[in-house]
């Protein structure tokens, strides 16, 4: 491959002379080739240039998953524009924060949504794109040439900006470079044995690392194909097993698939690999899936800041409850609270170093507290490593709930609750949930009467927060348990709620 580190160039240049190679099949059987995506992304990139966008400009995108939204991501890569994806579930206040932080030159969103409304009063270009691939993005780029010379990028140029890790109530921007993304994609493609003959069942959203970089990176680098489903639906997914041989998903996908009566060996006979990540996969789900289908799900571990760090092997022992060994080229260690390497099976913080790891949060000048002196990123995940080098994630030092593979930072919900005149204080915690892994519960100390308060609080949360962050239950208490330092003891609340459920 040539020296241009641009991710689009690295993905597509090997297939330029074979552009009719199929890339994706949609639910209605429509097939798009590698060449089709080269053309579509070329037109969109030219359309962006005609708006005056320059390399390094941010493009904020809040759209439904469609082949056209994939072309938009690719157009950003090839133009050197910074791709900033947003979950379509985000509400007005959340979006305002992202826009103020990311400062996009262009937004792409569905017509008549809060984002469209927001940018109408701002000096930002706005394109629309709906779930069936129609909108001004397509209208404006249709007349553009499909020929676009992919910009020459340096490995350190920013390819994408994602937000996560909102421990203070606001998510932080995580710039990922072409070099970060390519390093991880190359490693995973090789490690998981991706080949031209593979067909990935692509059912994850493309606004997070898992569906956007892990899944797509392996497909493009190996020249494989995808069956492209807009969202997870267990019945549709299991039907698609007959056309595919690899699937990536969050644990909820696997527990929902197990609820399908038809799931068995025969249905999965064409599949070669099921991969799980983004949240812990339970032993029960692993074992039941193995009994029903004969497949031992391969679990791996990663983060937005780092991409993937560890994986169970393609060939060799996949140990349930572990996330496998460090990926080639990635240093992973467990550090005890005294700053020394933790001995085997002792809990400590997981720290990571490698070309896959970002170099600091967006617009923060002093990232020293996020990294160690020898360049390891402090993940905030607590883990152990066993004698054979397999890592397990046993908890988190960061206050984070992962529900159905989506992150909820309790502080963000608490801020909304505590702004309500009838709330004295609150603590938002995650308790075990069969479907989502963890379920969000709000423990609230009310000011006075609780009559009708749950409905009011739910409605405020629904107005201000994406639905997946809205507590599934509200519990009213007289006071919150605190330690000697006055810190709320969320572990006690979690235990109480778990026992009571
Ligand atoms: C939807 N709801 C949720 C969630 N999703 N509530 C909690 N947790 C969720 N994840 C809300 C809906 O808004 C709805 O609320 C109600 O719950 C029921 O929705 P349901 O129809 O069951 O949800 P769904 O549409 O089927 O979605 C569930 C899902 C989806 C399929 C599990 O959330 C999903 O695709 N998750 C994957 C996310 C992902 O890609 N994660 C990777 C992050 P209401 O009734 O009030 O409207 S990348 C990452 O973590 C790192 C880097 C890594 O390692 O990969
Ligand atoms: P995100 O903020 O979306 O990047 O989420 C990253 C977090 O997801 C990590 O820091 C872990 O806490 C969690 N995570 C990802 N994969 C796994 C896994 N296989 N097991 C347990 N936790 C995981």
Rg of the chain over CA atoms, in angstroms? 23
What are the CB-based long-range contacts (under 8 Å, 24+) for 237-241? 237/201, 237/203, 238/262, 238/263, 238/267, 240/201, 240/203, 241/201, 241/267, 241/268, 241/270, 241/271
Q: Is the CB of 86 under 6 A from ligand 1?
A: no
Residue 202 CA, ligand 1 centroid: distance in Å: 16
Phi and psi angles of residue 107, each rounded to the nearest 5 degrees, phi first: -120, 145
Q: Which of 205, 407, 467, 470 to mutate to test the pocket of ligand 1 (most atoms within 8 A of CB)?
A: 467
pLDDT for 2: 61
Question: Which residues have CB under 8 Å from 422's CB, separation 6+?
Answer: 446, 447, 448, 449, 453, 456
Which residues, listed in sequence order, are joined to residue 246 by a DSSP beta bridge?
Answer: 200, 273
Residue 481 CA, ligand 1 centroid: distance in Å: 30
| Sign of the dihedral defined by the CA atoms of residues 386, 327, 195, 66, in that order | positive
Residue pLDDT tens, the chain, 501 long: 568 999 999 999 999 999 999 999 999 999 999 999 999 999 999 999 999 999 999 999 999 999 999 999 999 999 999 999 999 999 999 999 999 999 999 999 999 899 999 998 889 999 999 999 999 999 999 999 999 999 999 999 999 999 997 667 789 999 999 999 999 999 999 999 999 999 999 999 999 999 999 999 999 999 999 999 999 999 999 999 999 999 999 999 999 999 999 999 999 999 999 999 999 999 999 999 999 999 999 999 999 999 999 999 999 999 999 999 999 999 999 999 999 999 988 999 999 999 999 999 999 876 678 999 999 999 999 999 999 999 999 998 889 999 999 999 999 999 999 999 999 999 999 999 999 999 999 999 999 999 999 999 999 999 999 999 999 999 999 999 999 999 999 999 999 998 877
Q: How far apart are the first and last CA of the chain?
A: 56
Angle formed by the axes of helices 92-102 and 453-464, nearest 10°: 30
Q: Which of 381, 390, 410 to mutate to test the pocket of ligand 2 (most atoms within 8 A of CB)?
A: 381
Angle formed by the axes of helices 67-79 and 34-50, nearest 10°: 60
The protein residue whose alpha carbon is closest to atom 7 in ligand 1 is: 468
The protein residue whose alpha carbon is closest to atom 3 in ligand 1 is: 468
Q: How far is CA 251 from each of CA 138, 380, 403, rounded to the nearest angstrom?
A: 35, 21, 10
| pLDDT tens, position by position, 133-160 | 999 999 999 999 999 999 999 999 999 9
Residue 138 is inside which H or E element, if any?
Answer: helix 136-142
pLDDT for 443: 98
Distance CA 213, CA 463 (A): 31
Q: Is the CB of 208 under 6 A from ligand 1?
A: yes
pLDDT for 501: 73
Q: Is the CB of 250 under 6 A from ligand 1?
A: yes
Which residues, listed in sequence order, are joined to residue 77 by a DSSP beta bridge?
Answer: none
The protein residue whose alpha carbon is closest to atom 32 in ligand 1 is: 404
Ligand nearest to the CA of 87: 1
In eight-state DSSP terms, residue 488 is B
Q: How far is CA 92 from each of CA 64, 118, 348, 416, rounded to the nearest angstrom?
A: 17, 8, 39, 13
| pLDDT tens, position by position, 397-434 | 889 999 999 999 999 999 999 999 999 999 999 999 99
Ligand nearest to the CA of 208: 1
Residue 402 CA, ligand 2 centroid: distance in Å: 8
Are the C-beta atoms of 176 and 158 separated by less than 8 Å?
yes
- Angle at the Cα of 221 from the Cα atoms of 31 and 236, rounded to 5 degrees: 40
Q: Is the CB of 71 under 6 A from ligand 1?
A: no
Residue 409 CA, ligand 1 centroid: distance in Å: 15
pLDDT for 299: 98
The protein residue whose alpha carbon is closest to atom 6 in ligand 2 is: 303
Q: Is the pTM of this model over 0.75?
A: yes
The protein residue whose alpha carbon is closest to atom 15 in ligand 2 is: 278
Residue 373 CA, ligand 2 centroid: distance in Å: 24
């Amino acid at each position: 491959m040539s020296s241009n580190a641009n991710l689009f160039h690295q993905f597509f240049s090997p297939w330029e002379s074979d552009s009719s190679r199929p890339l994706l099949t949609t639910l209605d059987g429509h097939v798009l080739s590698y060449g089709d995506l080269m053309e579509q992304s070329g037109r969109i990139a030219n359309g962006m240039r005609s708006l005056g966008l320059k390399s390094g400009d941010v493009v904020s995108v809040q759209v439904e998953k469609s082949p056209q939204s994939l072309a938009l991501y690719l157009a950003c890569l090839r133009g050197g524009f910074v791709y900033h994806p947003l979950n379509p579930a985000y509400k007005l206040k959340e979006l305002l924060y992202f826009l103020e932080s990311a400062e996009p030159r262009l937004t792409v969103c569905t017509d008549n949504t809060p984002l469209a409304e927001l940018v109408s009063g701002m000096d930002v270009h706005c394109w629309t794109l709906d779930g069936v691939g129609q909108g001004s993005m397509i209208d404006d780029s249709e007349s553009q040439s499909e020929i676009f010379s992919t910009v020459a990028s340096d490995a350190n140029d920013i390819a994408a900006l994602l937000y996560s890790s909102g421990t203070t109530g606001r998510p932080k921007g995580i710039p990922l470079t072409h070099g970060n993304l390519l390093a991880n994609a190359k490693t995973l493609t090789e490690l998981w044995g991706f080949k031209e003959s593979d067909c990935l069942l692509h059912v994850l959203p493309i606004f997070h690392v898992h569906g956007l970089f892990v899944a797509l990176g392996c497909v493009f680098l190996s020249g494989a194909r995808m069956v492209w489903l807009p969202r997870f639906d267990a019945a549709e997914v299991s039907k698609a097993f007959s056309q595919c041989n690899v699937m990536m998903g969050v644990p909820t996908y696997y527990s929902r698939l197990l609820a399908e009566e038809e799931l068995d060996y025969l249905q999965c006979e064409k599949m070669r690999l099921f991969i799980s990540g983004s949240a812990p996969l339970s032993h029960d789900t692993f074992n039941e899936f193995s009994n029903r289908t004969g497949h031992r799900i391969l679990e791996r571990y990663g983060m937005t800041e780092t991409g993937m760090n560890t994986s169970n092997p393609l060939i060799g022992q996949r140990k349930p409850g572990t996330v496998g060994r460090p990926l080639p080229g990635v240093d992973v260690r467990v550090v005890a609270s005294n700053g020394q390497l933790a001995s085997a099976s002792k809990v400590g913080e997981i720290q990571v170093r490698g070309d896959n790891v970002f170099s600091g949060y967006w617009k923060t000048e002093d990232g020293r507290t996020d990294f160690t002196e020898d360049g390891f990123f402090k993940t905030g995940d607590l883990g152990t490593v066993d004698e054979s080098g397999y890592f397990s994630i046993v908890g988190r030092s960061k206050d984070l709930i992962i529900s159905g593979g989506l992150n909820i930072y309790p502080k963000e919900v608490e801020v909304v609750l505590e702004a309500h005149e009838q709330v004295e204080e609150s603590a938002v915690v995650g308790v075990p949930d069969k479907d989502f892994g963890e379920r969000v519960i709000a423990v609230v100390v009310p000011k006075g009467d609780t009559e009708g308060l749950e409905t009011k609080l739910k409605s405020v949360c629904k107005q201000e927060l994406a639905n997946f962050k809205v507590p599934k239950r509200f519990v009213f208490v007289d006071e919150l348990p605190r330690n000697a330092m006055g810190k709320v003891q969320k572990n006690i609340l979690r235990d109480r709620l778990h026992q009571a459920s």
